[in-house]
Structure 1
Amino acid sequence: METQALDFPKIDAVLRTNGTGEVTINGTSHAIEAADEAAVLKQALTLITETAAQLGRPVKVSTTDPDGQGTIIVSPEGTVSDTAPVKTIPLRQKAEHTTELTPAVPADTDKTPVPTPAEPATPAPATTPKTEPSRATPEPPAAAPSERKSLKDTSFLVSAPVLEPATRGWRGVLSRLGFRMDPSAEELAERDDIRTVSQHWPGPRTVAVVNRKGGANKTPTVVMLSAILARYSGAATVAWDNNESQGTLGWRTEKGAHDRSVLDLIDSSQALLSPSAQAAEIARYVHHQTADKFDVLRSDENDEGDHEVTAEEVDLAHQVLTRYYRLIVMDSGNTSRAANWRRMIDYTNQLVVPVTAIEDRAEAARLTLQTLESRGGHHAELARNAVVIVSESTDAKRSMSGDALKRAKDEARRIAEGFTPHVRAVVRIPYDPALVNGPIRYDALQPATQRAWLAAAAAVARGF
């Protein structure tokens, strides 16, 4: 497209995932409804191409889709590009836009005139002393052999990966229709997060999810981080309910064909750590999540609730789990003074502090970080490099008014901004009813919620 695409007419195109769309040309709206995104896009391109053909030049289109906003150029022939043509200056205008540059002359120190191309200097005739016989003109020195590079410094391999075409939104649909489009900034950021959570790292890693206030979203956070890291990395992952008495992780996840808990694993630790133990034996003590690909080690569910996990029992359980898993994500109770809580921190590689956008939960999260920071050493380092995950209030309902929803989002933003200067990363999670009650499944979440949890998991994995 050599002709510049002008801003007139103003064309806006909207593509929705439900098979509808809209093209607005200079304020005139054309609604589109079709079977799928591809069909919507074809109709939209037909309208836009007809406009370009009437004008006899390409037109610029502002696009909006679930992945964000962008710009494409459509030619009268229906060719699509995501880059506007470079503006060229006509030949008759080049003189007006060209400035002659006079090369700087170095300072003259010996007053010797400098020859110019118009007046070349004439060398003085060579004279031969009468006392010496004439000599033949010496041959010029032989040219120095060219330096050879070492083959070790040369490679024919292409180190940069090939950028795959877009798969999302307008760009993705256009790519599937045969127009190779580069991915949007939003899609590139998502690919980077996926690459981060898909990495493997040397040795096991332990993540502790902590907040001394109940109802701060600790258990959903443990489930979602475990699900995403297990799904993308393929690493053996276990979610461990390290509540000192009875936790709720087992209530929000699938139950296996047995009732065993962390106490049963501790009782069998000697056998599980023996050289003859096989990897599959751990399945007797954990509960596998069939869709989300991680295991759950439940807390003691004794009705009497008369047992509190000790620091020594945490030692045994952690030793067993690091034998069978690469990644351990630990849920926790609300008492930072408990022996099992403090021992968990000793083993932690990455601290995660979840908080719902309610002021008392946020204050409890701040105090949790402050307590760890005051202890110094490893605990303080964990606090400084923590990831805070701020979820919009799970008390929110679909029936909330627009003003109430805005207030909830504003409160989440305020709390997130408050934590930002004190920790390594802060991630916000939108409200999703699939996280409120019952077993938690990654596939049950809305796309925006899945994307936010992917960003949270990537922030955690960057700390490994």
Structure 2
Amino acid sequence: MSRSDRPKEQSMSLDAPYAQGLEMGALRGSGGELARARKREPEPEPETVGEDDVKGPVEPPAPVEVEAHEEGEHQAAPGLLGDLHSDEDPQLRIPAKEGWQGWINRLSGGFLSVRPGKEEVLHRRAVAGIQSNLTRSMTILLANSAGGAGKTVTAMGLGGVMGLHRGGGVVVCDNNETQGSLSLRSKARGSDRTVLDLLGRTREDEDLTLGELSAYLRTQGNAHFDVLASSTRPEEMRLIGKAEFELIHDVLSRFKELVIVDSGNNALASNFQAAAEAADLLLVPTGMQRDQIQRALWTLRTLYEAGHEDLVTNAIVVISEDSRGKESGGVVKELNAALDSAGMDIITIPYDPHLDRGTVIDVELLRDKTRHAYEQLAALVAHKLLTLPNEN
């Protein structure tokens, strides 16, 4: 059934100035609809028992045995805190290393073994999620038609925490149709090779080995991920079209578990469309400016109308805070309301001066709060990838 033959959903127009005319009803994901449907499920009516149904005396139920607890012993509460302090949680078996709990453990020289606090347990769970085994090579596309919306910064942050906790197998690839900034925000390590150099080599020999591929990548040191940068000459990058991207992507996905694609600003470019076809998951980074948010919503609509409904409904929107803070809070609230109605996931990355300098990004130099936010993003990415089919 073609898209035009499908029944139209009732659309909901946003009142926000930056999103006028955008029909978010078309972007509502099945996950959000399912969640709302579950909330509307009626409670089952209790069965009635007549006198004829009772055949004899009713025996009282057997007493329930309750495990006794020593005075002062912790009993897990239901909900989140109960899960965090459950003896079944493997993250609690390792003594605390952070917070006041970790300070006490270090001060005691190992004599005491204080359990980790809530924040540390959540951090450990995120890391465990990041380290999940993937069933095949996966591709993540970062897209927003606005320039300066945080695509490259998000790609470096995500690649950094993924590589740091997975121990490698991650590459960030610049797929800009003109001139990308990935080469400016990553460590060159003495290499000036770009995607064009790899393309030329691949055309000569498609059976590259991992060692031969590594010569064209820029390793990011302790972060354990690689970068495939674009050329700094815009006229050269116009040589990258659909077929060229597919050739490069085939080589990268042959050797890397995660291929993170940092795209340009033109959703109609052939290399962008090829990346959308290859993508397993979509991330839409945006800043807090109204024009950036408007273009983020346009990007979602463009991809949806191009037939990438699954990518859009499963997308993650990444909001990077700027130094203005509360000044942009109203804009972000409007965006959150719009995306929440579409059932989309939102991750907010706090402002970090290291990311705001426009220089090389080193994940080890991020503030703890910022790094933990990227870890939550990476854990959500890993969770979504694990739910996808095993085959492309």
Question: One fold, TM greater than 0.5?
Answer: yes
| 1:214 maps to 2:147 | yes
1:108–1:219 CA distance, 2 compared to 1 (3 A): closer
The one of 433, 445, 455 equivalent to 2:366 is 445
d(CA) in 2 for partners of 1:238, 1:272: 21
d(CA) in 2 for partners of 1:241, 1:367: 22
d(CA) in 1 for partners of 2:237, 2:196: 12
Instruction: Show the counterpart of 2:104.
Output: 174
Contact 1:386 1:423 (C-alpha < 8 Å) held by counterparts:
no
Instruction: Show the counterpart of 1:405.
Output: 325
1:72-115 Cα offsets, whole Å, 9 max, x none, are xxxxxxxxxxxxxxxxxxxxxxxxxxxxxxxxxxx99899xxxx
Contact 1:353 1:365 (C-alpha < 8 Å) held by counterparts:
yes
1:372-410 Cα offsets, whole Å, 9 max, x none, are 22233xx110100011111112xx2xxxxxxx5332345
d(CA) in 2 for partners of 1:212, 1:252: 19
Contact 1:256 1:286 (C-alpha < 8 Å) held by counterparts:
no
The one of 178, 181, 184 equivalent to 1:251 is 184
d(CA) in 1 for partners of 2:373, 2:341: 20
Instruction: Show the counterpart of 1:380.
Output: 309
- Post-superposition shift, 1:420? 2.8
Instruction: Show the counterpart of 1:6.
Output: none
1:237-267 Cα offsets, whole Å, 9 max, x none, are 1110001122111011111433221112111
d(CA) in 1 for partners of 2:237, 2:374: 36
The one of 273, 284, 290 equivalent to 2:215 is 284
Q: Give the AA of the match of 1:388.
A: V
Instruction: Show the counterpart of 1:260.
Output: 193
- Post-superposition shift, 1:434? 0.4
1:188–1:410 CA distance, 2 compared to 1 (3 A): farther
d(CA) in 1 for partners of 2:56, 2:252: 83
d(CA) in 1 for partners of 2:251, 2:268: 24
User: 1:69-148 to 2 correspondence within 5 Å?
Assistant: none
RCO comparison, higher one (Cα < 8 Å, 6+) = 2
User: 1:327-346 to 2 correspondence within 5 Å?
Assistant: 327-346=258-277
- Post-superposition shift, 1:370? 1.4
d(CA) in 2 for partners of 1:250, 1:224: 15
Gaps of 5+ in 2: 1-52, 58-86, 386-392
d(CA) in 2 for partners of 1:423, 1:332: 24
d(CA) in 1 for partners of 2:378, 2:264: 21
Instruction: Show the counterpart of 2:345.
Output: 425
1:250-300 Cα offsets, whole Å, 9 max, x none, are 0111114332211121111145532xx432111221111123221111112
| 1:293 maps to 2:224 | yes
Larger displacement relative to structure 2 (186-195 or 410-419): 410-419
Q: 2:93 is paired with a residue of what secondary structure?
A: coil
1:55-75 Cα offsets, whole Å, 9 max, x none, are xxxxxxxxxxxxxxxxxxxxx
The one of 155, 158, 178 equivalent to 1:225 is 158
Q: 1:461 is paired with a residue of what secondary structure?
A: helix
Q: 2:249 is paired with a residue of what secondary structure?
A: helix
1:442–1:190 CA distance, 2 compared to 1 (3 A): same
- Post-superposition shift, 1:449? 0.8
Runs (4+) of structure 1 moved beyond 6 Å?
107-111
Q: 1:317 is paired with a residue of what secondary structure?
A: helix
d(CA) in 2 for partners of 1:210, 1:322: 19
Q: Give the AA of the match of 2:315.
A: A
Larger displacement relative to structure 2 (247-256 or 413-422): 413-422
d(CA) in 2 for partners of 1:339, 1:202: 28
d(CA) in 2 for partners of 1:207, 1:341: 13
Q: 2:232 is paired with a residue of what secondary structure?
A: coil
Contact 1:243 1:299 (C-alpha < 8 Å) held by counterparts:
yes
Q: Which has the higher helix share?
A: 2
Instruction: Show the counterpart of 1:135.
Output: none
- Post-superposition shift, 1:303? 6.3
Q: 1:291 is paired with a residue of what secondary structure?
A: helix
Q: 2:247 is paired with a residue of what secondary structure?
A: helix
1:353–1:160 CA distance, 2 compared to 1 (3 A): closer
Instruction: Show the counterpart of 2:381.
Output: 460
Greater Rg over alpha carbons, structure: 1
**How many residues of Structure 1 are paired with residues of Structure 2 in the alignment?**
300
Contact 1:253 1:440 (C-alpha < 8 Å) held by counterparts:
yes
TM score, norm. by length of structure 1: 0.60
1:188–1:381 CA distance, 2 compared to 1 (3 A): same
Contact 1:272 1:320 (C-alpha < 8 Å) held by counterparts:
no
Q: Give the AA of the match of 1:415.
A: L
- Post-superposition shift, 1:431? 0.7
Instruction: Show the counterpart of 1:196.
Output: 129
Q: 1:389 is paired with a residue of what secondary structure?
A: strand
User: 1:296-311 to 2 correspondence within 5 Å?
Assistant: 296-302=227-233, 304-305=235-236, 307-311=238-242
Contact 1:353 1:389 (C-alpha < 8 Å) held by counterparts:
yes
- Post-superposition shift, 1:198? 1.2
d(CA) in 1 for partners of 2:272, 2:174: 11
Instruction: Show the counterpart of 2:388.
Output: none
TM score, norm. by length of structure 2: 0.71
